[in-house]
């Protein structure tokens, strides 16, 4: 762990051998079972975290709801100032935090730094937003009346995040929620609890320095049962959850049963359509980064390449060539492209997917396999694989969170490729590689991609924070991050004011007493 400066990074982030996984800011406690965080990089124990019991949770919620009454009255631009300071702290700690992300989650150090950069970017975005939480004004149909709308904070926002973006997805939610006047309770993935502790330490210091109350940023830890405390809790008007479709369906139903709001960011099954007019060089970079970046564990990872038959062999050979150059190994070593999967369960899923595609009649053209020997002791390193498949295969309908890329062939019009691309239950990210304006515009038109993200001459992953991020169908319909995604963190109120001494009724109704 000392080799890549992990010990120094942990120290800079205030991570101890045993951490309290429940926190309201600077007050940390926790009396639950102990969660152990092992690195998929080398299998070593990084540190332990005490989980949150029901009793701990009630303390957190009491503190959070009390903090809300203070925080919501602070002018939004002043809340923005706090988020600005938080962003600056992240700038200072970018390297240690990027390193911890890489070491606890397994993505490359470059991608770990990129993730922290997303946090910094969303803070900047939120600071600007803090002066722009705009509503509209409308013209009243009644004389001497004024009508407008305003946005008020919602309350306590619950955040459930996944292991694959252990810090950025929290920041997307929390930076916006904070400027909107909400307080947040976060349950990070039980696979990356230390990333949660580190972020909470950073936030806590900023709130404390500014003399703000405990409870604006809260952390809870544990498995799905801890998440359930939030989904069933009617004091939480919004639950923002990132993870599997299976998890999202449960969260959606539990939150809806109490008529709460949920913001869901679930699975993707993202495809790149490669048309006869594609720039092959660009296609290869986009497809390979999309498929093997974060070892295929992004929700935006490229899972399917839908290639026109006229250029199929050319594209296939170029992609296979690129795969042969991939270096797999310790993600903190910047010579490597691909790090480990999160754990050995993920390795099993990867193996099963490769088995299944062969059973269904597919052909593996870049052999997969679990890597063994020096440097691979954790058992989590796999060879990124490519299989030729058919769009209708059962396995191709699923999001396997691993570097398995399916090559699918289409013939004729781009419409056929769009049909294949849309023919799955997920609807997160999509892309077309083409220099043909007609094909590109068709792909973006109403009859084109049905995804929340549709790119031209860019891969499926690596979205910028400025756009709204999320997808349709079983991806869950939520939108986070940029554009007007902030609106979900606030409640809208329509106000009509009568400044006359008459009381005319709307719709021309007369009512005489
Ligand atoms: C995720 O995988 O949950 O677009 C988020 C991307 C990143 C975010 C991915 N900016 O790939």
Q: What are the helix (H) ranges across 72-93?
A: 76-92
CB distance 463 to ligand 1 below 6 Å: yes
CB distance 270 to ligand 1 below 6 Å: no
Give distance in angstroms: CA of 299 to centre of ligand 1.
6
What's the mean pLDDT in 9-18? 98
- Do residues 125 and 465 touch, judged by C-beta distance below 8 A? yes
Taking the C-alpha atoms of residue 343 and residue 357, their distance in angstroms, rounded to an integer, is 22
Per-residue pLDDT for 54 more than 70?
A: yes
| DSSP line for 221-264 | -SSHHHHHHHHT-TT-SEEEEES-HHHHHHHHHHHHHTT-EEEE
The pairing of beta strand 468-469 with beta strand 480-481: antiparallel
What's the mean pLDDT in 395-421? 98
> What is the best residue among 299, 302, 471 to mutate for testing ligand 1's pocket, by most ligand atoms within 8 Å of CB?
299
Residue 30 confidence (pLDDT): 86
Per-residue pLDDT for 1 more than 60?
A: no
pLDDT in tens, 106-161: 999 999 999 999 999 999 999 999 999 999 999 999 999 999 999 999 999 999 99
Ligand 1 atom nearest to 429, measured from its CA: 4
> What ranges make up the beta strands (E) of 117-216?
137-138, 145-153, 156-160, 183-187
- Do residues 177 and 127 touch, judged by C-beta distance below 8 A? no
**Protein residue with its CA nearest to atom 6 in ligand 1:** 462
CB distance 300 to ligand 1 below 6 Å: yes
- Do residues 462 and 291 touch, judged by C-beta distance below 8 A? no
- Do residues 21 and 219 touch, judged by C-beta distance below 8 A? yes
Count of C-beta atoms within a 10 Å radius of residue 393: 18
CB distance 164 to ligand 1 below 6 Å: yes
Taking the C-alpha atoms of residue 389 and residue 408, their distance in angstroms, rounded to an integer, is 6
Ligand 1 atom nearest to 461, measured from its CA: 11
Per-residue pLDDT for 277 more than 80?
A: yes
Residue 290 confidence (pLDDT): 98
pLDDT in tens, 20-37: 999 999 999 988 999 999
**Protein residue with its CA nearest to atom 7 in ligand 1:** 462
Residue 260 confidence (pLDDT): 98
Q: Predicted confidence band at 89 (pLDDT cuts at 50, 70, 90)?
A: very high
Give distance in angstroms: CA of 161 to centre of ligand 1.
12
User: Structure tokens of 221?
Assistant: 């830890």
Ligand 1 atom nearest to 301, measured from its CA: 11
CB distance 189 to ligand 1 below 6 Å: no
Active site residues: 265
Ligand 1 atom nearest to 463, measured from its CA: 4
Those residues with Cβ within 8 angstroms of residue 327's Cβ, 6 or more apart along the chain or in another chain: 335, 336, 337, 338
Ligand 1 atom nearest to 242, measured from its CA: 3
Report the run of H or E that residue 274 belongs to, with start and end: strand 270-274
Please count the residues of the chain. Answer: 513
Quickly tell me which residue has 């369960």 as its tokens: 345
Quickly tell me which residue has 């722009």 as its tokens: 132
Give distance in angstroms: CA of 104 to centre of ligand 1.
17
Taking the C-alpha atoms of residue 131 and residue 97, their distance in angstroms, rounded to an integer, is 29
Those residues with Cβ within 8 angstroms of residue 234's Cβ, 6 or more apart along the chain or in another chain: 258, 260
Q: What residues pair up with 426 in beta bridges, in sequence order?
A: 473
Q: Predicted confidence band at 3 (pLDDT cuts at 50, 70, 90)?
A: confident
Mean residue pLDDT across the chain: 97
Residue 58 confidence (pLDDT): 97
**Protein residue with its CA nearest to atom 3 in ligand 1:** 299
Q: Predicted confidence band at 346 (pLDDT cuts at 50, 70, 90)?
A: very high
Taking the C-alpha atoms of residue 191 and residue 163, their distance in angstroms, rounded to an integer, is 6
- Do residues 81 and 206 touch, judged by C-beta distance below 8 A? no
Taking the C-alpha atoms of residue 449 and residue 435, their distance in angstroms, rounded to an integer, is 17
Give distance in angstroms: CA of 470 to centre of ligand 1.
9
Number of alpha helices (DSSP H) and beta strands (DSSP E) in the chain: 14, 24
CB distance 461 to ligand 1 below 6 Å: yes
Give distance in angstroms: CA of 298 to centre of ligand 1.
6
Q: Predicted confidence band at 2 (pLDDT cuts at 50, 70, 90)?
A: low
Give distance in angstroms: CA of 137 to centre of ligand 1.
35
Give distance in angstroms: CA of 499 to centre of ligand 1.
50
CB distance 298 to ligand 1 below 6 Å: yes
CB distance 294 to ligand 1 below 6 Å: no
> What is the best residue among 108, 171, 463, 481 to mutate for testing ligand 1's pocket, by most ligand atoms within 8 Å of CB?
463
Ligand 1 atom nearest to 162, measured from its CA: 3
pLDDT in tens, 436-475: 999 999 999 999 999 999 999 999 999 999 999 999 999 9
């Amino acid at each position: 762990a000392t080799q890549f400066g992990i010990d120094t990074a942990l120290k800079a982030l205030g991570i101890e051998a045993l951490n309290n996984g429940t926190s309201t800011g600077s007050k940390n406690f926790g009396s639950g079972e102990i969660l152990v965080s092992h690195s998929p990089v080398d299998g070593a124990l990084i540190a332990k975290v005490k989980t949150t019991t029901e009793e701990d949770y009630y303390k957190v919620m009491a503190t959070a709801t009390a903090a809300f009454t203070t925080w919501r009255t602070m002018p939004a631009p002043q809340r923005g100032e706090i988020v600005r300071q938080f962003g600056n702290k992240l700038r200072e700690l970018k390297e240690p935090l990027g390193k911890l992300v890489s070491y606890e989650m397994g993505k490359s150090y470059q991608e770990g730094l990129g993730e922290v950069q997303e946090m910094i970017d969303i803070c900047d975005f939120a600071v600007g937003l803090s002066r722009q939480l705009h509503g509209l004004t409308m013209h009243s149909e009644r004389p001497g009346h004024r009508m407008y709308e305003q946005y008020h904070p919602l309350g306590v926002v619950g955040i459930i995040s996944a292991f694959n973006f252990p810090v950025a997805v929290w920041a997307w939610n929390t930076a916006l929620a904070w400027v909107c006047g909400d307080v947040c309770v976060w349950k990070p993935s039980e696979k990356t609890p230390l990333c949660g502790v580190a972020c909470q330490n950073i936030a806590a210091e900023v709130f404390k320095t500014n003399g703000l109350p405990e409870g604006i940023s809260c952390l809870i830890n544990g498995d799905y049962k801890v998440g359930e405390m939030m989904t069933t809790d009617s004091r939480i008007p919004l639950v923002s959850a990132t993870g599997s479709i299976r998890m999202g369906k449960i969260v959606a139903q539990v939150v809806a049963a109490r008529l709460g709001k949920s913001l869901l960011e679930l699975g993707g099954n993202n495809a790149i359509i490669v048309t006869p007019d594609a720039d092959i060089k660009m296609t290869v970079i986009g497809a390979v980064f999309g498929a093997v970046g974060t070892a295929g564990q992004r929700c935006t990872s490229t899972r399917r390449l839908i290639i026109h038959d006229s250029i199929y062999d050319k594209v296939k050979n170029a992609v296979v060539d690129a795969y042969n150059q991939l270096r797999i190994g310790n993600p903190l070593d910047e010579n490597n492209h691909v790090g480990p999967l999160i754990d050995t369960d993920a390795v099993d899923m990867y193996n099963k997917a490769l088995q299944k595609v062969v059973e269904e009649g597919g052909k593996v053209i870049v052999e997969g396999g679990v890597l063994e020997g020096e440097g691979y002791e954790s058992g989590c390193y796999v060879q990124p694989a490519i299989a030729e498949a058919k769009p209708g295969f059962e396995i191709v309908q699923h999001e396997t969170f691993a570097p398995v890329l399916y090559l699918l062939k289409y013939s004729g019009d781009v419409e056929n490729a769009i049909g294949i691309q849309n023919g799955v239950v997920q609807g997160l990210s999509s892309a077309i590689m083409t220099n043909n304006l007609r094909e590109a515009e068709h792909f973006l038109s109403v009859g084109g991609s049905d995804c929340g993200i549709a790119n031209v001459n860019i891969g499926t992953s690596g979205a910028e924070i400025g756009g709204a991020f999320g997808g349709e169908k079983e991806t869950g319909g939520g939108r986070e991050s940029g554009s007007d995604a902030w609106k979900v963190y606030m409640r809208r109120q329509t106000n009509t004011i009568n400044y006359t001494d008459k009381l005319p009724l709307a719709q021309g109704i007369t009512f005489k007493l």
